[in-house]
C-alpha cells in the first residue's frame, strides 16, 4: 500500500483562490469582456498560458520528486510555487497594466518567481540551488541559504514586473543591482552560517 500525501490547508486555500481568479478571467472572456491589460485585452492565448502555467506549477514538484534520486518534501515546494503564482494573479487583478507584453521586466520576473519557489525547498543536488562548499557541507546550511535565496527571488520577481513597467529606462540597472544584491546577501549569510555552525 502506498503512502498517502496530505495536502496542507494553506495549499487548499491558495489553490481555491487561484482557481477562482482564473475562472473569473475565463468567464470575462467568454462573456466578451476580457480583462484589460492597460490598452490591450487579455487574449485567449494569454488565458491558456495562465491556466497551463498554473497547472504545471502544481504538478511539476510531484514529477520532480518522482524523478529525483533522493525524494524530498514536494508538497512544501508545491505550496510555495502556488503561493507565488497567487501573488501574480492578484497583481493581474490589481495592476493589470504591468502585464502588457511591452513590459521589459515581465519575463525575468516570472523566471525569478519560478526559480525562487523551487529554491526554497529544493534538496541538495548537483544542478539547482546555491551550490558552494559551505552549503554542501551541511544540510541545515543548505536549507537555510536556499530558503533565503528563494524568498528573496520571489520578492524581487514582483518588484521586477513593477519596475519594468513603471521605470523601463531604469530597469537594466535595477536588474543588475537586484541580482548582485541577492548574491551578496546569500553568500554573506552562507559564510556567516558556516562560521557559527
41 DSSP β-pair partners = 36
Q: What's the pLDDT band for 149 if we cut at 50, 70, 90?
A: very high
Q: What is the pLDDT of residues 47-79, one digit of tens each?
A: 998 899 899 888 888 887 877 667 788 888 899
Q: Check whether residue 136 and residue 197 sit in a common domain.
A: yes
Q: Domain boundary residue among 48, 82, 101?
A: 101
What pLDDT sits at residue 178?
95
Buried b (16+ CB within 10 A) or exposed e, 179-196: eeebeeebeebbeebbee
User: DSSP per residue over 176-197, as a string?
Assistant: HHHHHHHHHHHHHHHHHHHHH-
What pLDDT sits at residue 46?
86
Q: Domain boundary residue among 45, 73, 101?
A: 101
Q: What is the pLDDT of residues 151-197, one digit of tens each?
A: 999 999 999 999 998 999 999 999 999 999 999 999 999 999 999 97
Long-range contacts: 143-148, Cβ < 8 Å, 24+? 144/189, 144/193, 145/186, 145/189, 145/190, 145/193, 146/119, 146/120, 146/122, 147/119, 147/120, 147/121, 148/185, 148/186, 148/189
Q: Domain boundary residue among 101, 117, 144?
A: 101
Q: What is the pLDDT of residues 106-116, one digit of tens each?
A: 889 988 988 88
Domain assignment of residue 39, given as a range: 1-101
Q: Check whether residue 93 and residue 114 sit in a common domain.
A: no
Q: Does residue 146 register a pLDDT over 70?
A: yes
Q: Check whether residue 76 and residue 117 sit in a common domain.
A: no
From the CB of residue 174, how many other CB atoms can be counted at a distance below 10 Å? 18
Q: Does residue 2 register a pLDDT over 70?
A: no
| Predicted model pTM | 0.83
Q: Check whether residue 127 and residue 81 sit in a common domain.
A: no
Q: Check whether residue 54 and residue 129 sit in a common domain.
A: no
- Number of structural domains the chain divides into: 2
Amino acid at each position: 500500500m502506498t503512502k498517502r500525501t496530505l495536502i496542507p490547508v494553506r495549499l487548499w486555500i491558495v489553490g481555491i483562490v487561484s482557481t477562482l481568479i482564473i475562472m473569473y478571467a475565463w468567464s470575462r472572456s467568454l462573456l466578451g469582456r476580457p480583462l484589460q491589460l492597460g490598452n490591450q485585452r487579455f487574449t485567449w492565448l494569454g488565458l491558456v498560458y495562465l491556466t497551463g502555467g498554473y497547472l504545471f506549477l502544481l504538478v511539476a514538484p510531484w514529477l520532480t520528486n518522482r524523478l529525483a534520486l533522493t525524494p524530498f518534501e514536494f508538497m512544501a515546494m508545491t505550496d510555495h510555487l502556488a503561493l507565488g503564482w497567487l501573488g501574480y494573479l492578484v497583481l493581474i487583478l490589481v495592476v493589470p497594466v504591468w502585464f502588457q507584453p511591452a513590459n521589459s521586466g515581465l519575463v525575468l520576473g516570472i523566471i525569478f518567481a519560478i526559480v525562487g519557489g523551487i529554491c526554497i525547498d529544493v534538496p541538495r543536488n548537483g544542478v539547482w540551488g546555491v551550490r558552494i562548499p559551505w552549503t554542501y557541507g551541511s544540510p541545515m546550511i543548505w536549507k537555510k541559504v536556499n530558503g533565503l535565496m528563494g524568498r528573496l527571488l520571489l520578492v524581487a520577481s514582483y518588484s521586477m514586473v513593477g519596475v519594468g513597467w513603471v521605470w523601463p529606462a531604469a530597469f537594466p540597472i535595477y536588474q543588475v543591482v537586484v541580482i548582485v544584491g541577492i548574491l551578496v546577501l546569500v553568500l554573506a549569510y552562507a559564510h556567516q552560517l558556516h562560521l557559527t555552525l
